[in-house]
């Protein structure tokens, strides 16, 4: 009871509820009607198609749990999920390893240098996804840039198989997701008080120790949001695994596309999508619980 009373008082005291200028209707306020066009649009072109498609999991061709059972009975499909999670996890880890130093550098330098270096981070972010994947195909192919260099320098005798395997998918996805990680880390690192690190140093910690024990713990919120973000996006990756991946380690999005385009197995594609959607939403709920969703852009 006591806590309830306190909560009531707290909300009464919150600034939004103070009727400062609201003696009559606030003229700078906008009605919820303004949301209507957007909501109707999303309802028709987004919610309706997706739910209609996902419902086929249970109604194709007649009401049953056939597709769900199929999915859980066939180890091939469970393995696809496992591979998707595994690749996403590895990609997230690599992005953290690569993104942390860059974000640290960006948070240390002057505003001018930061803006310049940020452009380097944003270039891959802005270049068409297809172009970036194509670039990796050109680099990693049998007659690609790397193999040419390796053979010419005499490091290997015959070209290596660098493309159409998990290695290529991981390398490509990590390059595409690292900018997201850098931006998430940077937004937290910029707010860290460097005075604390200097205090630790003046109290006898060496710079590395001060960094490890003061700076790193303070940057953990950025690590959390960056990792969750990269992981969520990685789960649904389609273009990179389709173009750089092989037949062995397929990711879930590629299987969904195949079920729809080649096998025309809508019910099963729908069951696979439902599982992917549930996984994505679970991680997204965790994200929105701890972090501001505005930052996903």
Alpha carbon 204 to chain centroid, angstroms: 39
What's the angle, vertex CA 164, arms to CA 160 and CA 170, rounded to 5? 95
Interface residues for another protein in 77-106 (CB under 8 A)?
Answer: 98, 101-102, 105
Between the two ends of the chain, the Cα-to-Cα distance in Å is 41
Label residue 242 exposed, middle or buried (CB < 10 Å: 0-12, 13-18, 19+): middle
The upper half-sphere exposure of residue 197, i.e. CA atoms within 13 Å in the direction of its Cβ, equals 18
Number of residues that bind another protein (CB under 8 A): 87
CA dihedral 117, 119, 121, 122 (to 10 degrees): 160
Query: Under the criterion CB under 8 A, does residue 45 sit at the interface with another protein?
Result: yes
Shortest distance in whole angstroms from residue 34 CB to another protein? 4
Interface residues for another protein in 174-193 (CB under 8 A)?
Answer: 175, 178-179
In whole angstroms, give the CA distance from residue 275 to residue 284. 14
Query: Under the criterion CB under 8 A, does residue 30 sit at the interface with another protein?
Result: yes
Query: Could you tell me the two tokens for 296?
Result: 């996903």
Query: Could you tell me the two tokens for 127?
Result: 């270049």
Shortest distance in whole angstroms from residue 214 CB to another protein? 16
Shortest distance in whole angstroms from residue 259 CB to another protein? 9
Shortest distance in whole angstroms from residue 72 CB to another protein? 20
Interface residues for another protein in 117-136 (CB under 8 A)?
Answer: 117, 119-124, 126-136
Shortest distance in whole angstroms from residue 235 CB to another protein? 7
Stretch that binds another protein, among 2-10, 58-66, 214-222, 237-245 (CB under 8 A): 237-245
Query: Under the criterion CB under 8 A, does residue 158 sit at the interface with another protein?
Result: no
Query: Under the criterion CB under 8 A, does residue 253 sit at the interface with another protein?
Result: yes
Q: From residue 151, how far is each of 45, 121, 165, 168 by CA, in Å?
A: 52, 31, 20, 19
Query: Under the criterion CB under 8 A, does residue 246 sit at the interface with another protein?
Result: no
Query: Under the criterion CB under 8 A, does residue 12 sit at the interface with another protein?
Result: no
Query: Under the criterion CB under 8 A, does residue 239 sit at the interface with another protein?
Result: yes
Shortest distance in whole angstroms from residue 196 CB to another protein? 18
């Amino acid at each position: 009871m006591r806590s309830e009373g306190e909560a009531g008082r707290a909300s009464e005291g919150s600034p939004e509820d103070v009727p400062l200028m609201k003696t009559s209707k606030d003229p700078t306020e906008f009605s919820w009607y303004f949301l209507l066009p957007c909501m109707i649009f999303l309802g028709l072109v987004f919610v309706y198609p997706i739910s209609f498609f996902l419902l086929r999991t249970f109604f194709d061709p007649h009401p049953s749990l056939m597709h769900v059972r199929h999915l859980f009975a066939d180890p091939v499909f469970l393995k696809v999920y496992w591979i998707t999670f595994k690749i996403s996890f590895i990609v997230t880890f690599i992005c953290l390893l690569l993104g942390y130093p860059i974000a640290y550098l960006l948070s240390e330098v002057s505003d001018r240098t930061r803006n310049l270096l940020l452009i380097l981070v944003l270039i891959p972010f802005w270049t068409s996804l297809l172009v970036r994947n194509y670039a990796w195909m050109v680099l990693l192919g049998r007659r690609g840039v790397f193999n040419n260099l390796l053979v010419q320098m005499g490091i290997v005798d015959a070209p290596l198989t660098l493309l159409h395997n998990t290695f290529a998918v991981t390398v490509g996805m990590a390059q595409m997701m690292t900018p997201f990680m850098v931006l998430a880390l940077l937004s937290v690192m910029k707010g860290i008080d460097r005075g604390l690190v200097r205090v630790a140093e003046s109290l006898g910690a060496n710079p590395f120790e001060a960094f490890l024990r003061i700076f790193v713990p303070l940057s953990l919120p950025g690590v959390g949001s960056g990792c969750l973000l990269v992981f969520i996006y990685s789960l649904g990756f389609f273009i990179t695994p389709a173009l750089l991946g092989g037949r062995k380690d397929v990711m879930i999005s590629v299987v969904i596309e195949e079920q729809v385009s080649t096998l025309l197995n809508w019910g099963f594609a729908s069951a696979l999508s439902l599982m992917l959607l549930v996984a994505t939403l679970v991680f997204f709920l965790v994200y929105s619980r701890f972090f501001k969703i505005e930052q996903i852009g």
